[in-house]
Amino acid sequence: MPVKVIESGILTTIQDLGRPGYYHLGIPVGGAMDRLALRSANALVGNPEDAAGLEFAFMGPVMEFTEDASFAVCGADIPAKVNDVEQPGWTVIDVRSGDILSFGFLRSRARGYIAFSGGIDTPQSLGSRATYAIGALGGYEGRALQPNDILPLGPEKTGGRAGKSIPSNLRRATSASTKLRMIPGLYWHRIVKKSQLNFFEDVWTVANEADRMGYRFHGGREMKFVEREQPFGAGSDPSNITDACYPYGSVQVPSGTEPIVLHRDAVSGGGYFMIGTVISADMDLIAQLQPHTKVRFAEVDMAAALNARASRKAMLSEIREVLK
């Protein structure tokens, strides 16, 4: 059941839940930035939760169905339209051969996810269909979609689900002011106590440099560093370290000015210090932050991070239960 791309939207890529196991080789896990949204869309149309779908940012694609199918759109609040008729989000929609899927203007959040019944059936690279454009891996020829691309779909796994929906209380949303929970890390001691306090007190703003590699934030006070003797192999800037591994969600602050949270397609190591790591339960939330959104960071410990992860798993279980 191929789908033809008429207009590609913005940064529309094929994504699944990524390719774990290659980080030590410099290849990030990748996959959907908002994993809850992709899992939800797949569950709605009866796919395995790790099936490949589409991720787009701010503006959705225009596509033509060449055979009957079902789809669901989750994540960003952006109205999907079939033949110019608006459809509900987080809901299964049936379409016929020749129907056109398009999108209206973005209302809130940043990234939308489209799952098709049967999933997108492009070839796998290192066990995943996720697009890693920097390495030209996966997806559609290793790149974002372009007009006239043809997306093959797998055999439909289910039917008769049209109108099935995920309740609004299970659709995690962002707000005008968002709190991101962070565990201080190995290099937290490199900034003075006052700067440590300022970091959590300050209101930060999402910068325009916000993509699959990472989100930059500005607006807080500049950090002051503890004096040191420059280590062998490290750069001269006080934020430089001898090259080290970057955990997913690491918070870098080059020169102590603007924090960067590393996201799905970030490099796996380098020479900037990391003051901490945003907890895994909040990484989906970052994916839905628009530029100019106000953010505060909140210090948490490992116990709080594990509790947040458990709450997220419970939310997924509730979604699965609703869709049985």
- Express each pLDDT in 292-314 by its tens digit: 999 999 999 999 999 999 999 99
Question: Do the domain assignments include residue 260?
Answer: yes
Specify whether 189 is located in the same domain as 137.
Answer: no
Judge if 146 and 22 occupy the same domain. yes
Domain that holds residue 287: 179-314
150 and 88 assigned to the same domain: yes
Higher pLDDT pick, 160 / 106:
106
- Position 324 scores a pLDDT of 84
Phi and psi based region of residue 137 (left: phi greater than 0; alpha: psi -120 to 50; beta: remaining): beta
If asked whether residues 157 and 218 sit together in one domain, one would say no
**What percent of the chain clears pLDDT 90, i.e. is strictly above it?**
94
Calpha distance 112→106 (Å, rounded):
10
Say how many domains are in the chain. Answer: 2
Please tell me whether residues 164 and 193 are part of one structural domain.
no
Q: Tell me: do 159 and 183 sit in the same domain.
A: no
Decide if 324 is inside a domain.
Answer: no
What does the pLDDT average to over 101-107?
97
Is there a single domain that holds both residue 28 and residue 156? yes
Residue pLDDT, tens place only, 23-38: 999 999 999 999 999 9
Instruction: Single out the residue in 127, 148, 170 at which a domain terminates.
Output: 170
Can you point out the beta strands (E) in the chain? 3-7, 13-15, 53-57, 62-65, 69-77, 80-82, 85-87, 93-95, 100-103, 108-116, 150-151, 177-184, 204-210, 214-218, 240-245, 250-252, 260-262, 269-272, 274-278, 294-299
Structure letter (DSSP) for residue 49: T
Task: Tell me: do 135 and 250 sit in the same domain.
Answer: no
CB 91 within 8 A of CB 45: no
Q: What is the pTM of this model?
A: 0.95
Of 107, 141, 170, the residue that ends a domain is 170
Domain boundary among 138, 153, 170: 170
